[in-house]
Amino acid sequence: MTSTTAPEDAYAGSWTGAVRGFLARSLPLEHLLPVRQPYYIGSWVYMFGAITIAALVWVFLSGAVLAFFGPQWWHVSGIGHFLNSVHFWSVQMFFVFMVLHLWGQYFAAGWRDGRAPTWMIGVVIFLVSIVTAFTGYLSQQNFDAQWIAVNAKDAINATGAGAFFDVLNFGQMYGLHIMLFPVLVITLVAVHVVQVRMRGIVKPIERRAE
């Protein structure tokens, strides 16, 4: 039996139908998984965002292993040292290429043509990533982490955040670093990528007529 009503009509009046219609309109599969890209994608500047996500994958994978085995492992074993270094250096790559991606989008005015929410989510990702990395430095379980915590506490207290964000509380910093902030960063990055796919890559700024 074949239906004669359009899918959106069939679900008229239901919120699931409204959501389904919105997703079908705003995020068709040809936008979500395009097979061809415009010519202006042929620039390495457009690679920076993808490289940032690649670094984030390494951050997540190495961090998952570190969280599983714990500091008694990553400070004393050879493979623990290696995974610890992979985690550290992939974070460095994540930030380097995120900043290059930011530069690229700034000079391309990536917020044009309705892409302001994409830009704003990117800014939020940047800020959350900084806090995530900060809690990571505090979670190293070495003298460096203690030095950072003791020196940072006054600055954090001066902002008023010290009442609920205690850098001397290792359990709190470690919990935030391996649970709340990673979920936040990865979710926001997923939203950011979907936003990019909804509107496509921003076109280059056209030259003024001579």
Concatenating the DSSP letter of every residue in 156-200 gives: HHHHTGGGT--TT-HHHHHHIIIIIHHHHHHHHHHHHHHHHHHH-
Is 36 a binder of another protein (CB under 8 A)? yes
From residue 180, alpha-carbon distances to 10, 68, 76, 86 in Å are 40, 16, 27, 21
Q: Pick from 7, 14, 22, 38: which binds another protein (CB under 8 A)? A: 38
CB atoms near residue 98 (< 10 Å)? 21
Nearer to another protein (CB atom), residue 15 or residue 39: 39
Q: Which stretch binds another protein (CB under 8 A): 13-21, 34-42, 125-133, 157-165?
A: 34-42
Q: Pick the closest to residue 122 from 191, 76, 40 (CA basis).
A: 191
Q: CB 92 → another protein: shortest distance, Å?
A: 9
Q: CB 176 → another protein: shortest distance, Å?
A: 26
Is 68 a binder of another protein (CB under 8 A)? no
Is 50 a binder of another protein (CB under 8 A)? no
Is 43 a binder of another protein (CB under 8 A)? yes
Nearer to another protein (CB atom), residue 44 or residue 164: 44
Task: Scan residues 165-204 and list those touching another protein (CB under 8 A).
Answer: none
Q: Pick the closest to residue 133 from 98, 166, 162, 95 (CA basis).
A: 95
CB atoms near residue 24 (< 10 Å)? 12
Question: What single letter denotes the amino acid at residue 112?
Answer: R
Q: Pick the closest to residue 118 from 192, 37, 58 (CA basis).
A: 192
Is 99 a binder of another protein (CB under 8 A)? yes
Q: Pick from 96, 152, 156, 188: which binds another protein (CB under 8 A)? A: 96
Q: What is the dihedral of CA 10, 15, 20, 23, to 10 degrees?
A: 140
Is 45 a binder of another protein (CB under 8 A)? yes
Is 151 a binder of another protein (CB under 8 A)? no
The site for another protein (CB under 8 A) is made up of: 36-39, 41-45, 47-48, 96, 99-100, 103-104
